[in-house]
Structure 1
Amino acid sequence: MTPTRLSEVWPDLERVARAEGVLRLGASGIDDEHAALFAEWLARGGHASMHYLAKNADVRERPRERYPWARSVVSILVPYAGERPAAPPGALSHHIARYALGDDYHEVLDRILRKFEAALDGVKTWRYVDTGPLSDRAYAAQAGLGWIGKNGMLIDEQHGSYVFIGTLLTALEHDVEAATVADRCGACTRCLDACPTNAILPDRTLDSAHCISYATIEHRGALDAFVAERLEGNAFGCDVCQEACPWNHAPADAHPAFAPREAYRATPVTDLFRFAQADFSALFAKSAIKRAKLAGMQRNIESL
Structure 2
Amino acid sequence: MISGRNTGLIKNEAARLGFMQCGISKAERLNEDADRLEKWLKQGFHGNMQYMENHFDKRVDPRLLVDGARSVITLLMNYYPDQVQEQGVPLVSKYAYGEDYHFVIRKKLYELLDFIQKEIGAVNGRGFVDSAPVLERSWAVRSGLGWIGKNGNLIHRQSGSFFFIATLIVDLELDYDTPHVKDYCGTCNRCVEACPTEAILPDKTVRGDQCISYFTIELKSLDFNTNLKWNDWMFGCDICQDVCPWNRFAKAQDEEVFHPK
Question: CA shift at 1:24, angstroms?
Answer: 0.4
**Equivalent runs, 1:1-304 vs 2, <5 Å:** 6-30=3-27, 31-32=29-30, 33-82=32-81, 84-85=83-84, 90=89, 95-121=91-117, 122-178=122-178, 180-221=180-221, 223-256=222-255, 257-261=257-261
* Alignment check: 8 A CA contact 1:137 1:154 kept: yes
Identical aligned pairs, as a percentage?
Answer: 37
Cα distance in structure 1, aligned partners of 2:258 and 2:182: 29
What number of residue pairs does the alignment pair up?
A: 254
Cα distance in structure 1, aligned partners of 2:82 and 2:37: 31
SS at match of 2:167: strand
SS at match of 1:39: helix
Structure 2: unaligned runs, 5 residues or longer: none
Cα distance in structure 1, aligned partners of 2:191 and 2:175: 36
Question: CA shift at 1:88, angstroms?
Answer: 9.4
Q: Which deviations, in whole Å up to 9, do the C-alpha atoms of 1:269-292 show, x marking residues without a partner? A: xxxxxxxxxxxxxxxxxxxxxxxx
Structure of greater Rg: 1
Question: CA shift at 1:61, angstroms?
Answer: 3.4
Cα distance in structure 2, aligned partners of 1:34 and 1:255: 34
* Alignment check: 8 A CA contact 1:16 1:116 kept: yes
Q: Which deviations, in whole Å up to 9, do the C-alpha atoms of 1:154-192 show, x marking residues without a partner? A: 001111000001100010124333364521011111101
Normalised TM-score (structure 1) = 0.78
Cα distance in structure 1, aligned partners of 2:59 and 2:182: 24
* Alignment check: 8 A CA contact 2:22 2:74 kept: yes
Cα distance in structure 2, aligned partners of 1:224 and 1:113: 39
> Cα–Cα, structure 1 residues 64 and 21, in superposed 2: closer, same or farther, change >3 Å?
closer
Cα distance in structure 1, aligned partners of 2:194 and 2:88: 23
* Alignment check: 8 A CA contact 1:212 1:231 kept: yes
Normalised TM-score (structure 2) = 0.90
Structure 1: unaligned runs, 5 residues or longer: 262-304
Cα distance in structure 2, aligned partners of 1:86 and 1:216: 17
> Cα–Cα, structure 1 residues 71 and 5, in superposed 2: closer, same or farther, change >3 Å?
farther
